[in-house]
Amino acid sequence: MANTIVYGAQGFSITFDGATAWDGIDKFPAGIIVESFEFKPTATDDLIAIRELDASGRLYLSEKSATGYDNKIKYFNTEKSRKRFFPYVVGNQVSAGAILIVELK
């Protein structure tokens, strides 16, 4: 199985398989200007860790759901900020079926 990625005009979403890493640099080598990351779990105790650049990078977001309906959103680049992000998700640091919605600025 593999992660499922759907691209749109203002962002994209990833449905994770729980084993395959996702490297944002593959599609966006210059990085992305993120408005928000939204984590949509499918069950209690679903996890996600979004790191910078690679598997050992610092955390942008690390969440664990209380229920299957416990969406978490983190906003970035408020006001006029245009900071670029280089997200990376280690395959075993995200639960299978969990969705990450990335809104771009």
- What confidence tens digit (pLDDT) does each residue in 38-58 have? 999 999 999 999 999 999 999
Whether the pTM exceeds 0.85: the reply is yes
Whole-angstrom Cα distance, residue 52 to residue 32? 12
Residues 6+ apart with CB under 8 A from 46: 64, 65, 68, 95, 97, 98
What is the C-alpha separation between 20 and 34, in angstroms, rounded? Answer: 22
CA separation for the pair 84, 70 (Å, rounded):
27
* pLDDT of residue 75 exceeding 90: yes
Domain range summary for the chain, segments of one domain joined by +? 4-104
Residue 60 — very low, low, confident or very high, per pLDDT cuts 50/70/90?
very high
**What distance in Å separates the CA atoms of residue 48 and residue 89, rounded to the nearest whole number?**
8
**Could you say which of 1.10.3470, 3.30.70, 2.60.120, 2.20.25 is the CATH number of the domain covering 4-104?**
2.60.120
